[in-house]
């Protein structure tokens, strides 16, 4: 069976479709689907997906691992000299020069004494002092004592006037072997800037002029504050850098992400807690990923791990993921703004503060935490002492003001489905119907209907200007009476005028549409 379509049938079907579409649009034009959602600030450190390994994960260099790039080296000779003079433990160094002023009878004498390569200090006509392993304070006292013994009542004064300079070789795991010119204030950390990316920070050798070797850990010195692991250099020292034993990269939800040289026996838990500072509250300790190079397959592979009892290989990348959290919410209604700012300049307008806000709270978050977050949304009409929470159909009184003043001892954890109601502490008058701004307005004593109509912006174009006033009990009041609190003012609407305007609009649309359809049917020759 075939249905033959002709022009009248097509026009009838299209006309019905147009009318239905326009009527649906008219009936739903006033729908208010607006709302506002607030996320707890405790979510700021969390993401809903795992962090992924990317190509931009970069191993830190030897210098970056120790933080040496942020240390400014002092090279001014005068400043260095002042530092040595002010440090009574400054170690005497070959090349140091001291000035001695003393009395010989009535004459003032002056000597310049220099420490030679064997740490000897020669005082002409008096003695020779070996100052090896002496500090500045000790040497000054020895010089004074010798001059005072030889010249009675000479009152000698000794001052360091210049620092000696010597050379230190740095060998091994370096970009190139270098010789540094240093002085007695130079520490080990100041001559290792040429170390390669894979140089060992944990076991650095210093060989003295007699061939004796000592071992130092610059990580402990610069990151853990063990200053004895960063010694002053001496004349004849040679610094030897060895290859690192085990280097790992740690990033994600830890306090101190970065590259670390760890001991061979260090476990994953030790690396996370001792080196990387421990897990952040947002970390999932059971969802760690290790990115490890597989030599047999010649590629990286990802290994899921937990923090306990996990061995780590050299050059492993360790990712600590976020906890995945399902958001729960509470509804807040009443005298609260839907936005943190209010552009209204009319203090009598309450409608701007009659909101319904959704608050997504963090697991374990308390009522006090939430109230602090939303406090900027309270208004002068919010009754902060008579609010209440509805939980499982039970009412719980909430004195918000006490919470904000930290004067509450029985704070409790939020629960999904809770509803917080914040009442108004100001009486109001409802203005409804054919006015520009239907709303609730603050009650003012001894005001007539015209006052509230003005607040509402006056009548709309489709108003009949007939007004009905009812009190809070539903009793009708005279149009000339003083409007009481909680009254309702209703401006009648001319429904006929509104319907005619709507129908006229629809007819115009239909006429235009039919003209287009007729033209199209003519093109296809439909009769």
CATH number of 428-493: 3.10.560.10
Cα 482 to Cα 226, 348, 431, 487: the distances in Å are: 83, 17, 15, 10
Q: Name the β-bridge partners of 122.
A: 128
CATH number of 246-322: 3.10.560.10
CATH number of 328-422: 3.10.560
Bridge-based pairing of strands 328-335 and 419-422 is: parallel
What b/e string do you get for 194-223 counting C-beta neighbours within 10 Å, with b at 16 or more? bbebbbbbbbbbbbeeeeeeeebbbbbbbb
CA R_g for the chain = 43
CATH number of 94-161: 3.30.1950
Q: How far apart are CA 336 and CA 12, in angstroms?
A: 51
Q: How far apart are CA 63 and CA 508, in angstroms?
A: 78
Bridge-based pairing of strands 476-477 and 283-294 is: unpaired
The pLDDT, as a whole number, for residue 345 is 38
Locus of tokens 């499982």? 392
pLDDT per residue as tens, the chain (527 positions): 444 555 555 555 555 554 554 444 444 443 343 447 888 887 775 554 444 554 456 788 898 899 887 555 656 788 889 989 988 889 999 999 999 999 988 889 999 999 998 999 999 989 999 999 999 999 999 999 999 998 888 999 999 999 999 999 999 999 888 899 999 999 999 999 889 989 999 999 999 999 999 999 999 999 999 999 999 999 999 999 999 999 999 988 999 999 999 998 899 999 999 999 999 888 888 888 999 988 888 888 888 888 876 789 999 999 998 877 777 899 999 888 876 554 443 444 444 445 688 999 988 899 999 999 999 888 877 889 999 999 999 999 999 999 999 888 888 899 999 999 998 877 888 899 989 998 888 888 899 999 999 999 999 988 888 999 999 888 999 988 999 988 999 999 876 655 556 666 666 666 666 666 666 666 656 66
Tokens of residue 209, six digits = 């002029």
Q: Where in the chain is the domain with CATH 3.30.1950?
A: 94-161
Q: Name the β-bridge partners of 162.
A: 97
Closest CA to 191 of 149, 240, 132: 240
Alpha helices in 119-173 (DSSP H): 136-150
Q: Where in the chain is the domain with CATH 3.10.560.10?
A: 246-322, 428-493
Closest CA to 208 of 237, 230, 234, 188: 237
Bridge-based pairing of strands 317-322 and 247-252 is: parallel
Please give the model's pTM, rounded to 2 decimal places: 0.55
| SS3 letters across 237-280 | CEEEECECCCEEEEEECECCCEEEECCCCCCHHHHHHHHCCCEC
């Amino acid at each position: 069976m075939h249905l033959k379509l002709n022009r009248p049938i097509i026009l009838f079907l299209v006309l019905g479709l147009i009318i239905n579409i326009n009527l649906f649009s008219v009936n739903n034009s006033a729908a208010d689907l607006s709302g506002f959602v607030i996320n707890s600030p405790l979510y700021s450190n969390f993401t809903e997906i795992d962090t992924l390994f990317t190509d931009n994960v970069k191993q830190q260099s030897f210098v970056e691992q120790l933080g040496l790039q942020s240390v400014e080296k002092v090279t001014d000779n005068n400043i260095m000299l002042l530092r040595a003079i002010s440090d009574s433990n400054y170690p005497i160094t070959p090349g140091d020069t001291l000035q001695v002023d003393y009395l010989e009878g009535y004459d003032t004498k002056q000597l310049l004494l220099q420490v030679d390569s064997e740490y000897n200090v020669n005082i002409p006509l008096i003695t020779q002092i070996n100052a090896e392993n002496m500090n500045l304070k000790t040497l000054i006292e020895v010089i004074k004592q010798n001059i005072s013994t030889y010249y009675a009542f000479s009152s000698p004064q000794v001052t360091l006037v210049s620092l000696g300079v010597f050379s230190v070789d740095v060998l091994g795991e370096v970009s190139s072997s270098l010789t540094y010119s240093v002085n007695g204030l130079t520490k080990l950390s100041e001559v290792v800037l040429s170390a390669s990316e894979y140089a060992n920070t944990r076991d650095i050798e210093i060989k003295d002029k007699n061939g004796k070797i000592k071992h130092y850990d610059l990580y402990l010195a610069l990151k853990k504050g063990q200053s004895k692991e960063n010694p002053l250099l001496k004349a004849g020292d040679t610094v030897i850098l060895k290859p690192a034993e085990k280097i790992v990269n740690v990033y994600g939800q830890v306090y101190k992400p970065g590259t670390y040289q760890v001991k061979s026996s260090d476990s994953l838990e030790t690396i996370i807690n001792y080196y990387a500072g421990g897990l952040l509250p947002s970390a999932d300790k059971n969802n760690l990923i290790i990115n490890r190079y597989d030599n047999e397959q010649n590629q990286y592979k990802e290994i899921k791990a937990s923090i306990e009892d996990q061995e780590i290989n050299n050059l492993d990348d360790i990712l600590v993921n976020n906890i995945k959290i399902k958001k729960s919410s509470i509804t807040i209604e009443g005298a609260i703004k839907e936005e943190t700012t209010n552009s209204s300049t009319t203090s009598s307008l309450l409608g701007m503060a009659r909101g319904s806000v959704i608050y997504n709270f963090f697991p374990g978050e308390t009522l006090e935490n939430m109230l602090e977050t939303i406090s900027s949304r309270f208004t002068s009409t919010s009754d902060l002492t008579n609010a209440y929470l509805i939980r499982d159909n039970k009412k719980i009184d909430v004195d918000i003001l006490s919470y904000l003043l930290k004067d509450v001892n029985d704070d409790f954890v939020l629960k999904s489905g809770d509803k917080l109601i914040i009442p108004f502490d100001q009486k109001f008058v409802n203005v409804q119907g054919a006015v520009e701004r239907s709303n609730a307005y603050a009650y003012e004593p001894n005001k007539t209907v015209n006052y509230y109509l003005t607040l509402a912006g006056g009548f709309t174009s489709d108003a009949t200007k007939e007004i009905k006033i009812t009190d809070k009990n539903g009793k009708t009041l005279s149009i000339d009476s003083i409007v009481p609190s909680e009254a309702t003012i209703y401006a009648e609407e001319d429904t006929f005028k509104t319907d005619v305007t709507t129908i006229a609009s629809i007819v115009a649309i239909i006429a235009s549409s039919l003209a287009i359809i007729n033209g199209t049917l003519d093109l296809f020759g439909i009769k």
